[in-house]
């Protein structure tokens, strides 16, 4: 025991000033403070540990079709000593805790398993002790098998919290075992410590305290708001005050009333933020990208029978994120994402969020948050970890990898989605100048075509345009900001830019035409997304397409064309005003 005490008595290393002093925090806040080292010692013989670690899931490895009422792993009982040291040191023996293996697919491991510990499962008297000591009776230990750089989960949950979304707290812990109280310690590994999504999760968050009286469901691949999850008896119910009727209501809305389903089932602003955050993190295994790794929750229903739900989401299992080699893309695996992307207003809200959230994330300084855990990880890494080796100094390189990945994610986000929605100068004639500053958007209608084209810039009225506000609102859905939309009127006629017919080649491109200005026509609404410098993309509200200056496309009457194509930030769809 003396060796461990010596380890835990190391001086607390200096951390960024944003970290609160431990003495000002609750026991739970101290538990997840980067200045606090958590060590857990299981009193478990090697043979017992090895047998538990080697357990196979009852469902089989990576078999998702399994009745939620049938546990994949059995519970075990053991004594455990839990030690914390921040500004003060605490040590508490818990007898007969519940412990079981978790993860049956990507993080499945037979030597270093991920674990769930419930301190009061077998001995209710442990509850009061644990609440006073740790602020919780539940400890969730992730082996980080799918994150070779260890720090991604804590970085990912932090980004969700930056965006104002509920997400688990995250830190690190060292796990040991010994045959008996006086036996030598055996280091079992370095673990990611995450906050379990239990009723206490919601009680700790002032705006979610009524959720324990509502519903919580867990989604694993391929769960979604569809009838299949009901028909296959796959709905994982953590609790439900409505006997699952709120979820059944939402599924019925999605299946039978698609035009209004999202408005009647989701709290849409946080849904858009959740979706955008998954996209920013390049999540390959989240809910909207893979119908996996999420909790969905709702308040108690306002009326019976249920007329409205406000489902929201909580991420978990964030170990497949921040891939430096990937670019962010609009994931649409979930039926909810597919429906939302077809809705002009919700697609606008997603693009607006993606184009602007880079600044918010930069200000919150994800690299500094990662840095704050490095001394803790070095401190906890006492011996060889089967997944990460024996050199604790590797933590610095691993953290650097995730820091760079987080910084690259901001750059990639801006490359793909821009720097925010622009407010242009309105009701003032300007020219729309193409990427090489020699050609301008030109209205030259003929008897054959009303497509706009491009020609050498002049001062003629056919190249003079004005932006007229064409804002709309979505306050009925909870979005407080007006949509920054504009009509683009030509000065030589009473006509405005409008989304034209699709190309017949199946490319998804659309013609860009002019038509009589109509204040009610969504096809004449455009938004401007900021790119580098003064340049912007002119994006159609009704199509996920931007104006392109093309070297090859021509209008019906043979003029060099401007059309609506992919919004990718390439030079051919960058415009400046003069």
Domain covering 432-577, topology: Trefoil (Acidic Fibroblast Growth Factor, subunit A) (2.80.10)
| Contact yes or no for 181/46 (Cβ under 8 A) | no
Dihedral class, residue 426 (left if φ above 0, else alpha if ψ from -120 to 50, else beta): beta
Residue 515: both structure tokens together? 């038509």
Distance CA 466, CA 428 (A): 6
pLDDT 10s digits, 522-562 = 999 999 999 989 999 999 999 999 999 877 888 888 999 99
pLDDT band at 17 (very low <50, low <70, confident <90, very high): very low
Using alpha carbons, select from 333, 332, 329 the residue that is nearest to residue 341: 332
Three state DSSP letters for 90-156 = EEEEEEEEEEEEECCCCCCCCCCCEEEEECCCCCCCHHHHHHHHCCCCEEEEECCCCCCCCCHHHHH
pLDDT 10s digits, 381-410 = 999 999 999 999 999 999 999 999 999 999
pLDDT 10s digits, 471-525 = 999 999 999 999 999 999 999 889 999 999 999 998 899 999 999 999 999 999 9
Each domain of the chain, given as residue ranges in start order, spans: 1-143+167-204, 205-363+392-417, 432-577
Distance CA 363, CA 365 (A): 5
- Indicate whether 18 pLDDT > 60: no
DSSP state for residue 418 in the 8-state scheme: -
pLDDT band at 254 (very low <50, low <70, confident <90, very high): very high
Average pLDDT estimate for 72-81 = 98
DSSP state for residue 426 in the 8-state scheme: B
| Contact yes or no for 35/87 (Cβ under 8 A) | yes
CA 494, 509, 345, 360 torsion: positive or negative?
negative
What was the pLDDT predicted at 317?
94
Distance CA 194, CA 173 (A): 10
Distance CA 569, CA 563 (A): 15
pLDDT band at 8 (very low <50, low <70, confident <90, very high): very low
Distance CA 563, CA 547 (A): 6
């Amino acid at each position: 025991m003396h060796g461990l005490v010596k380890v835990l008595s190391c001086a607390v290393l200096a951390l960024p000033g944003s970290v609160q002093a431990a003495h000002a925090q609750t026991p739970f806040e101290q538990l997840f403070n980067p200045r606090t080292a958590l060590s857990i010692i299981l009193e478990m013989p090697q043979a017992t540990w090895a047998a538990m670690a080697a357990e196979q899931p009852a469902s089989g490895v990576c078999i998702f079709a399994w009745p939620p009422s049938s546990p994949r792993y059995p519970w075990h009982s053991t004594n455990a000593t839990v030690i914390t040291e921040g500004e003060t040191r605490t040590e508490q023996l818990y007898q007969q805790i519940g412990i079981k293996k978790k993860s049956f697919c990507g993080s499945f491991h037979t030597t270093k398993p991920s674990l769930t510990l419930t301190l009061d499962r077998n001995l209710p008297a442990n509850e009061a002790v644990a609440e006073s000591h740790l602020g919780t009776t539940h400890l969730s230990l992730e082996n980080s098998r799918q994150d070779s750089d260890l720090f991604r989960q804590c970085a990912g949950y932090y980004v969700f919290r930056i965006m104002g979304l509920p997400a688990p707290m995250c830190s690190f812990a060292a796990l040991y075992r010994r045959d008996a109280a006086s036996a030598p310690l055996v280091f079992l590994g370095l673990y990611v410590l995450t906050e379990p999504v239990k009723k206490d999760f919601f009680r700790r968050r002032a705006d979610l305290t009524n959720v324990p009286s509502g519903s919580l469901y867990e989604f694993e691949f391929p769960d979604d708001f569809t009838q299949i999850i009901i028909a296959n008896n796959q709905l994982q119910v953590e609790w439900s005050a409505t006997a699952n009727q709120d979820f059944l209501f939402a599924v019925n809305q999605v299946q039978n009333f698609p035009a209004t389903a999202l408005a009647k089932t989701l709290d849409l602003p946080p849904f858009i933020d959740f979706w955008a955050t998954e996209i920013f993190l390049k999540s390959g295994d989240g809910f909207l990208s893979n119908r996996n790794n999420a909790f969905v929750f709702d308040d108690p229903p306002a009326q019976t029978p249920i007329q409205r739900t406000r489902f929201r989401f909580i991420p978990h299992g964030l170990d497949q994120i921040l891939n430096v080699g990937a670019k962010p893309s609009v994931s649409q695996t979930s039926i909810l994402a597919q429906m939302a992307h077809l809705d002009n207003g919700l697609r606008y809200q997603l693009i607006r969020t993606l184009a602007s959230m880079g600044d918010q994330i930069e200000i919150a300084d994800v690299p500094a948050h990662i840095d704050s855990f490095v001394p803790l990880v070095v401190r906890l890494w006492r011996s060889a970890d089967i997944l990460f080796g024996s050199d604790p100094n590797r933590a610095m390189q691993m953290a650097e990898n995730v820091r760079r990945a987080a910084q690259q994610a901001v750059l990639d986000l801006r490359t793909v989605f821009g720097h925010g929605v622009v407010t242009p100068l309105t009701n003032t004639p300007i020219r729309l100048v193409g990427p090489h500053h020699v050609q301008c958007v030109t209205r030259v209608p003929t008897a054959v075509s009303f497509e706009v084209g491009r020609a050498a810039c002049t001062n003629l009225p056919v190249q003079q345009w004005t932006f007229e506000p064409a804002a709309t609102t979505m306050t009925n859905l909870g979005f407080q900001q007006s949509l920054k939309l504009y009509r683009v009127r030509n000065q030589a006629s009473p006509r405005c830019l409008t989304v034209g017919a699709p190309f017949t080649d199946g490319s998804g491109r659309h013609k860009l035409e002019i038509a009589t200005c109509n204040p009610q026509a969504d096809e004449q609404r455009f938004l401007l997304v900021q790119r580098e410098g003064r340049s912007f993309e002119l994006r159609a509200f009704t199509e996920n397409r931007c104006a392109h200056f093309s070297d090859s496309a021509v209008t019906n009457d043979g003029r060099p064309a401007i059309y609506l194509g992919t919004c990718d930030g390439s030079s051919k769809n960058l415009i400046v005003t003069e």
